[in-house]
Chains A and B, each alone.
Chain A
Amino acid sequence: MAINAALSSFSFAGTIVAEVGTASITMDRAPLESTPIGSKVRTFIVGVGNATANLEIFYDQDSAQHTALENNINTGGAAAAVILTLESNNTYTGTAYVTSFEVTAQAGSLVRANVGLQFTSAGGNVDILSIA
């Protein structure tokens, strides 16, 4: 069954981020080539997992959640818990740093910020993210 984004939210360091226009998470696991010399067909083994998140927010420096994201990259803060909730019991959970923060003020439009986050292993994790 499809999920309406009205039920969705994105939280960083335990606090739901306000005014999120778009929230996305990307997982990738590029395969590692293991083709023997002389082989006529490539072979691969499972690669190293990776995940990133991206947010488009309607930026407001008066919002503590927005400045928490901004300060994470500005001060080189520690990785924090990130949860993308699609709806109740449909979540992606991990630990991430903010790796980019781009604020745009355009005539005739709201001030926006694009925020990039890089997930990092919390230590010994096999899965990239916790999906539940």
Chain B
Amino acid sequence: MPSIETCVRAMITAGSSLSTAGIPDERVMHGFRLQDTILPAVTFEVAQDEYMAIGSAPLRMASVELRVIASTTTAALAFESTIRNLIVTGTFDAIVVSAVDFVGRYVEPPVVADGDETEPAQLVCNFTVYYKD
């Protein structure tokens, strides 16, 4: 059944631009990725979903946080323009996205955690999707 989560995933994986850029569709995951999976990868979450209009088929707004996870900051940043170009209006998994707004992004650099374990860099993109079921 279509949902805003499946819609966002379909939007990000539409065409083959992300895959061509180096992140195949199977590495686009909702929520989390396993620590030992291949990088780069994308995870996303729908942080908030609310009604914008009255009526039985109202306009809705979803806030999405998308993370491009890569071994280095440069490798994560390399996907920024691809991600921006993928966040567009259209119909994705039977859900009509009528407007999108790229709110902003920031970078979490790779850090060394406990011991000698290194956490990868993350490009965090926030965007808003306005849609109808």
A contact residues vs B (CB 8 Å cutoff): 5-10, 16, 19-23, 58, 108-110
B contact residues vs A (CB 8 Å cutoff): 51-56, 58-59, 99, 101, 103, 130
Q: How far is the CB of A64 from chain B (nearest CB, A)?
A: 16
Q: Are B54 and A108 in contact (CB under 8 A)?
A: no
Cα of A108 to Cα of B99 in the assembled complex, Å? 11
Q: Are A6 and B56 in contact (CB under 8 A)?
A: yes
Q: How far is the CB of B23 from chain A (nearest CB, A)?
A: 27
Q: Are A6 and B59 in contact (CB under 8 A)?
A: no
Q: Are B130 and A6 in contact (CB under 8 A)?
A: no
Known: A8-B54, A58-B53, A58-B130. 14 other contacts (CB 8 A): A5-B55, A6-B51, A6-B55, A6-B58, A7-B56, A8-B55, A9-B54, A9-B55, A19-B53, A19-B59, A20-B54, A21-B53, A58-B59, A108-B101
CB closest residue in chain A, given B61: A110
Q: List 11 A-B contacts (CB under 8 A).
A: A5-B54, A5-B55, A8-B54, A9-B54, A10-B54, A16-B55, A20-B53, A20-B54, A20-B55, A23-B54, A108-B101
Cα of A110 to Cα of B53 in the assembled complex, Å? 12
Interface centre among A8, A19, A21 (most CB of B within 10 A): A19
